[in-house]
Amino acid sequence: MEFFRLTRNVWGQEVLQGMSWDLIGIFFGLGLACIVVHALYRFFLAPKLIKR
């Protein structure tokens, strides 16, 4: 599996052309898990502000 596509430009330097889409599901799942964990933390453990 190739994660990055590299080519060479006119001066012989390696240039990033793109990234693999094979891992998009993993990154989406990690982002969703981070949002859910943060929401659960805020709901159960974060100190509540008391408004008077």
Distance CA 30, CA 6 (A): 26
**Residue ranges per domain, the chain?**
21-47
- What tens digit of pLDDT does each residue of 1-52 get? 778 889 999 999 999 998 888 889 999 999 999 999 999 999 988 877 767 6
Distance CA 24, CA 6 (A): 19
Q: What is the pTM of this model?
A: 0.61
Task: Say what the pLDDT of residue 14 is.
Answer: 94
Task: Say what the pLDDT of residue 52 is.
Answer: 67
Tokens encoding 3: 């994660």
The CB-side HSE value for 34 (13 A sphere, CA atoms) comes to 6
Task: Say what the pLDDT of residue 20 is.
Answer: 84
Task: Say what the pLDDT of residue 23 is.
Answer: 85
CA dihedral sign, ordered 46, 44, 42, 37: positive
Tokens encoding 20: 């693999």
Distance CA 52, CA 37 (A): 29
